[in-house]
Structure 1
C-alpha cells in the first residue's frame, strides 16, 4: 500500500498530509460498534440528514455460487463517533429470505470468491493485521486463515481446478525517499524524482508496484510463488483501480489473461494505451493480444468453454471517456470481432452465461443504467431491464442473474433478474429500517430544448413534502467527469435526497458531454469546455425557474471536479441568475491545472493540448476561457472546498479561487480537508461537509 508522509510549507493549516493509494486493504480495525437504529427525534422529523446517511449499510457487488442458488456480497457500515467503518460479508439465497452474516466487525473483508464445488468462500480479511487470504466453510461456518505473507494481498483469483492461485501484492523496485537514497540521513523526509507520474490521484509514488504472483494452492496453502511481472515498473492490476477482476483464469487453469498498462514515466502520463496479455502457466511466456489498439483495453475474461476471450476496448489513445466497445477474440485463430458494432452506448460490467452463448452486461441509456444481453453468435443486443434506476454490476451462474441496483430514491441493493422477461425481484432490504421512517423526494423526468435545438434530459428532484403552492429556492447541479452521466445514482455526498430534504428544488441536467445519449453527445464537450455544455446548463435552469413553485430570485449553483470548473465559469458568466455558488475541487486556472495534474493525457485531450502551444487553436481557445479570466465579473457569494490529497485537481486551484473572491471583496468561505482526496470519505468530515454546504446555501438562498 503506497503511503508516504511529508511536511510541506506552512500553508492553510496543512501541518501534515498523509498520502496513500487505495492499493491494499485497510489495516485491522478491531471490533467496531455498529448501530443503524434511528433516534426518536430522527423518526419524528422523517427526513434524511447527514447523520442518518452514515447509518446506511452500503451494499457491494454480488457474487453468485456455482449453482446459482446463493449470493455472497459485502456491506460496509460506519461508526460516526469512531470515524471509521468496517466491511463484512453476507450470504443470501437467490430465492430470497433473510441474509446470513458470515464475518464480524473484527476486521474488514473483501474480494469474496466461491470454490468450484460451492462449499467454500475465499476472501481477504484484515482481522489479524494486514490483508491476508481466509476461507469460510459453508458446512460448519468455520473461518480459517490461509496466508501469512510478508506484504498485503491486494486481490486474488483461484484457478478453476483449485490447484493454483494468482494474487496481487506490492514489490519494491525503486528508491524514492531521501533515507533510501542516503541511508545515513535516516531522519530526512524528502522525496526524489526525475520523471513524470510521481504521484497519482491521491498517492505519491513510493517505488513499489503491484505485481501478479502465481503459486500452487494445494491443501489451501500458498507455495512456490512466481512473479509474472518481474522487474516491471508499472502496476498490474492497473492503477488507480487495482481491480483484481482485470485478472482472470482460463477454464482449464493453464492460462491467465490480464489487463495492464506497460508504460512508464512520460509515456504513462500522456497515454491511455493499456493492453490485454495472456500468460501461459506451463511455458511462463506472455503474449500481447491487443497491441493493435492504441487506447484503453481492459477487463478481459475467458468464455466458460475457453474458446473466446472478451474485453472492452477504447479506440483513441489519450481519450479516457471514449466508447467502451466489446471485443471478442477466437483463442484458436486469434481473429477479433467488434461484437457491439452499431450499439451507440458503452459496455460497462459484463458476465458470461455458462454455455458461452450469451453475455449479460450493464450500459447507460438516456440517463439510466440498464442490464442488456448479447447473443454472441448473432451479435444481437437486447435490453433486459427498464425503469428509473442504475444497475452497476451483475453476476450470472446456472441460469440465475443477479445485479446491484440503485436509484435516486434508494442506495444499492441486490436484485434477481429474469433472463427471459427482465422482471426484477428485490433480494436485499439492507436499509429498510431507514426507508420505513424517512420520506424520499420525487423525481421528474424533463426534456429541455437546448440552444442548438436538441432535447436534453434534466432530472428535477422536488423537495420532500412538496407543495406546488409554495416557492422553493433551486440548485443547478453541475456534474463532474466531465463525461459522467447524471443518472439514477445514489451518492453519499452529492445526494439529491438530502438536498431535497433541505427544501431545495434540484435541477440536474445531462448536458453535452455525458454518456448514455450516444457518442456524439458524449464527445462534444472535449475542446469546448466553455461552450455548448455551459449553454445547456443555463437552458436547464432557465426552463425550470419558470415554474410557479421555483423562487427564481434565489437560485444556487453547485458542483465538484468538472462541476467545480462549471461553477467557477458560471460565477463569471451567469448574468445575475445565481445568488450563491459552491465549488468543490474544481479547475479554476486551466494553465496551472494543466501544469500540475498527473494524468496529462486527460488535459491534452479535453483541453486540446498544452497552453504553450500557440499554434493549437483548440488549446488556445480552452485556456482563453479559463474561469480565472472572468473573476472581474464575479458578483455572488461563493464557497470553495478543497482536499489536500487531491492530485487530480490540486487544492491550490481552490485556493486561487478563494483568494480571488476575497481580494475582490466577494463574500466567500473556504473549507480545507487536509487528508481528504478528490472526495470526502471520512464520516465526520463528510457530516461537516454537509452542514457547511447547507449552512452556506441557506444563508444566501433562504
Structure 2
C-alpha cells in the first residue's frame, strides 16, 4: 500500500518529466480498465482510461490521484513526505511536523494534533480498521485512538537497553531486514491486538564508533554482537488493546535462539511465529494462543547447512492454513499446510527457483507466482491451482517478464525485455492469451562506433558441475586484435543473484568508456543453482566464490583480446570482501582491485549473518582462518585500493584498518581512502569524490606507463 501511495504522490507532485516518462501503462484503475499515457491529435500528452477487453479509450481522462487530492487539501505549512502513513482509502493521513503527529482528514480538511512532546514517534502504523495508530517512542509501544485522541502506553520498561516493538540492531540488519526500519510490531486483522517483540540488549557487547567532528570528537556506541558474542534477549508478546495487558508467548528462555516473523491468522485467534536455534540449522513454525500464550508446533524444517526464516508466508483467508515457499527439496517450491501441520498439497514440484507469491485467488483457488523457469537468468509468471493441478507458464520467451495483475486477476500487464531487446508492455488475460501490445520501445540498431555491446553467456566451473552465467560489456569500437583490461564488478554474497537476462541498453558505463571490459558472474552460491549450490558456501565463505571467478578468469585468458596482466575486480561490502580475497588468496588470477567498505575477517562481523554460513569460530577455526583476507596477505602482489566510511555501523572500519596493519607490516604497497562521518555507503560530495578516485585508480593502473 505504501508503494502505491509513493507512486501516486510522485506522479502528481513531481515535475512534468516524471508525469510523462517513456512508460505508457501507469496502473490498473479497476479489474477491467487501466490508466495509460497517450498523445492526442494535437500532440498533447494526456491520460486515457482503457478498456482491457476492447481497447476502447476514454481520452482525455480526468484522474485525481490520492496524492493530488491530499496535497490540494492540506493547509498551509503542512506537507506529506514519501512515507507519510495513511489509511487504506487515503482519507486519513498522519503528518509529522515539529516532531509531533497530526491527523489530517482529507474530506473535511480538518487537521488535529495528536502528540505534544519532544521525542520522535517511530514507525507510525494504522490499524486495519483505521481507528487507531500504533508507534514506538523511547523503547515503548503506544497506540492512539483516532476518534478520542486518547494515547495509551502499552509498555513501560523501555530504556536505552530495552525496546518494545523496536528491533535490536542485529535483528534489524539480519532478520527483519532493513525495509522494516526497526519496526517489530504487528496489528491483528481485527485491530484488537498487537503482537510485538521485546528486546533486551544488556548482554550484547558495545562497539564504539568515533565521530571526528568538533574539537574533542565523540564516541557513538552501539550494541553489536560479533561472532560468538551473546545475543539480545527476545520475547514475543501479544497486547490486548481493550485491557492494555500483554500475554507473553511461551518460548524457552534458556535456549539461545532467534524469534521472528509472526503472521496472524485471518480470524485473529492465533499467531503463527517462527523460532530458530542459534546454529540456524532448524526452523519451527508455532501457533500461539493470544489468550494464554500457549503454543503448538505446526511445522519443522532442518538442514545440515542452514535454513532461513520464511518472510512471505501466505495466510489463507478462510483460516484453513497457509502457503509456504520452502527450499526443503533444494529449490523453492510452494506447499499448502493446515494449522495442524498436515501437508494438504505440494502445490509445485519444480527444479528451478520460485521467487515470489504474487497473489492467491482464494475464490478460484489459483496461486499466481513468479520464478525463473528452466533458464536461471529468466523471470516468468505462472499460475497453478491450490491443489497443484493446472500448472501454467503464462509468459514465453527468453528474458525477464515482470507481471502486474489486475485487481481481480482477470488480466495482467507484462513488462518484458532481454539483454538484446528493449522493454515492451503487453496485455494478457489470466490464461496467458495475448490481448494487445500497449507499448513497445524500439531496440536501437547496434552501432560498434557508438554502442557498448552486452552479451550473456555461460562458463563451466572448474569442477564441471555448474554453468556459470556471465555478462560482459565491451567497449565501443571493440577490436579483437587489441588487448583490453578486464574488471569484474561483483557483489557475490550468498543467494544474492546478480545476473539476469534484461535490457540494460548499450550506453556502457564509466569503465567501458575508458576501454575496459566489464564482467559480472553468478557463482554457484548465488542462488541460481538452488540450495545445493548454496550449500557449498557452508563453513567456506570466500572459497567457492573465488574458485568460480578463477574459472572465468581462465576462460578470459584464452581470449586473444584479453590482457591477463590487467585483470581487475571491484565491489562493496561482500563484494569488497571478495575483491580483497581476489588480490590476496587469488593473487595468481587478479592483478588490481578496489575493496569498498569490506569485511576482511569474519570474526569482525555480526554473529547472525556470519554464524549462519560459518558456524562459530570455535566450531570452525580452519574455515574462519581460510576465509580471512588477513590470512593471505603474504600472497598479495598486485595493486589494491581500500575505501571505507569511518562511521560505518554495519561493516566497521576496524576491518580495513586490520588489513592495512597487516599490509604495512608485510611491506606491501597499496592505496587507501577513508571518508569521515560516512557509514555503509554514501552520496553527496564524498560520493562524487569516491567515484572520481576509483576512475583515477583504473586509469592509472591500466593506462598509465610508470
TM-score range, shorter chain: 0.5 to 0.7
SS at the partner of 1:641? Answer: strand
1:276·1:290 contact (CA, 8 Å) conserved in 2? yes
Matched, 1:524 2:536: yes
Judging changes above 3 Å, is the alpha-carbon distance between structure 1 residues 94 and 402 closer, same or farther for their aligned structure 2 residues?
A: farther
| Larger relative contact order (Cα-Cα within 8 Å, sequence gap ≥ 6) | 1
Matched, 1:362 2:336: no
Aligned to 2:579: 567
Aligned to 2:136: 170
Which segment drifts farther, 400-409 or 529-538?
Answer: 400-409
The gaps in structure 1 that reach 5 residues or longer are: 1-21, 39-54, 73-89, 176-189, 217-223, 238-243, 317-321, 433-437
Aligned to 1:186: none
2:568·2:590 contact (CA, 8 Å) conserved in 1? yes
2:583·2:591 contact (CA, 8 Å) conserved in 1? no
Aligned to 2:700: 699
Matched, 1:312 2:325: yes
Aligned to 1:505: 517
Matched, 1:624 2:631: no
Judging changes above 3 Å, is the alpha-carbon distance between structure 1 residues 667 and 334 closer, same or farther for their aligned structure 2 residues?
A: closer
After superposition, give the CA deviation of every residue in 1:127-163 in whole Å (9 maximum; x if it has no partner): 75778887888xxxx98879957834455573xxxx5
CA distance in 2, matches of 1:149, 1:425: 52
Cα drift, residue 556 of structure 1: 0.8
Judging changes above 3 Å, is the alpha-carbon distance between structure 1 residues 134 and 154 closer, same or farther for their aligned structure 2 residues?
A: same
Pairs within 5 Å for 1:135-150: 148=114
Judging changes above 3 Å, is the alpha-carbon distance between structure 1 residues 560 and 400 closer, same or farther for their aligned structure 2 residues?
A: same
1:416·1:426 contact (CA, 8 Å) conserved in 2? yes
After superposition, give the CA deviation of every residue in 1:392-443 in whole Å (9 maximum; x if it has no partner): 775453212356778779999987554333759887999x9xxxxx987442
Cα drift, residue 634 of structure 1: 1.1
Cα drift, residue 557 of structure 1: 1.0
CA distance in 1, matches of 2:683, 2:600: 25
CA distance in 2, matches of 1:147, 1:70: 38
SS at the partner of 2:537? Answer: coil
After superposition, give the CA deviation of every residue in 1:597-621 in whole Å (9 maximum; x if it has no partner): 141xx323422x22233xx5xx524
Judging changes above 3 Å, is the alpha-carbon distance between structure 1 residues 531 and 153 closer, same or farther for their aligned structure 2 residues?
A: closer
Aligned to 2:635: 633
Pairs within 5 Å for 1:156-555: 156=126, 158=128, 163=129, 169-170=135-136, 199-200=170-171, 210-214=184-188, 226-229=193-196, 233=234, 250=266, 254-255=267-268, 260-261=273-274, 273=283, 275=285, 290-293=298-301, 295=307, 296-303=309-316, 307-313=320-326, 323-330=331-338, 335-353=343-361, 355-364=363-372, 365-379=375-389, 381-386=391-396, 389-390=399-400, 394-398=404-408, 399-402=410-413, 418-421=429-432, 441-463=452-474, 465-469=476-480, 470-488=482-500, 497=509, 499-555=511-567
Cα drift, residue 510 of structure 1: 1.6
Cα drift, residue 275 of structure 1: 4.0
1:124·1:153 contact (CA, 8 Å) conserved in 2? no
Aligned to 2:677: 674
1:449·1:456 contact (CA, 8 Å) conserved in 2? yes
Judging changes above 3 Å, is the alpha-carbon distance between structure 1 residues 574 and 245 closer, same or farther for their aligned structure 2 residues?
A: closer
Determine which of 61, 67, 70 is the counterpart of 2:31.
Answer: 67
1:326·1:340 contact (CA, 8 Å) conserved in 2? yes
The gaps in structure 2 that reach 5 residues or longer are: 37-46, 72-78, 142-158, 200-233, 239-259, 444-448
SS at the partner of 2:325? Answer: strand
1:171·1:210 contact (CA, 8 Å) conserved in 2? no
CA distance in 1, matches of 2:402, 2:194: 32
Cα drift, residue 624 of structure 1: 3.3
Determine which of 590, 599, 606 is the counterpart of 1:587.
Answer: 599
1:278·1:289 contact (CA, 8 Å) conserved in 2? no
Q: How many residues were matched structurally?
A: 574
Which segment drifts farther, 476-485 or 226-235?
Answer: 226-235
CA distance in 1, matches of 2:321, 2:15: 47
CA distance in 1, matches of 2:357, 2:332: 10
After superposition, give the CA deviation of every residue in 1:556-580 in whole Å (9 maximum; x if it has no partner): 1112333222222221233544332
SS at the partner of 2:313? Answer: strand
CA distance in 2, matches of 1:268, 1:149: 40
Judging changes above 3 Å, is the alpha-carbon distance between structure 1 residues 676 and 371 closer, same or farther for their aligned structure 2 residues?
A: farther
1:564·1:585 contact (CA, 8 Å) conserved in 2? yes
Pairs within 5 Å for 1:72-91: none
Judging changes above 3 Å, is the alpha-carbon distance between structure 1 residues 665 and 415 closer, same or farther for their aligned structure 2 residues?
A: farther
Aligned to 1:49: none
After superposition, give the CA deviation of every residue in 1:496-548 in whole Å (9 maximum; x if it has no partner): 75544454322212212121333322322223334343221011122134334
After superposition, give the CA deviation of every residue in 1:440-467 in whole Å (9 maximum; x if it has no partner): 7442121212211234233333235342
After superposition, give the CA deviation of every residue in 1:242-266 in whole Å (9 maximum; x if it has no partner): xx9986773xxx3388765568xxx
Determine which of 70, 74, 81 is the counterpart of 1:108.
Answer: 81
Aligned to 2:651: 649
CA distance in 2, matches of 1:699, 1:644: 26
- TM-score in terms of structure 2 length: 0.64
Cα drift, residue 297 of structure 1: 2.8
Judging changes above 3 Å, is the alpha-carbon distance between structure 1 residues 553 and 168 closer, same or farther for their aligned structure 2 residues?
A: farther
Cα drift, residue 377 of structure 1: 1.9
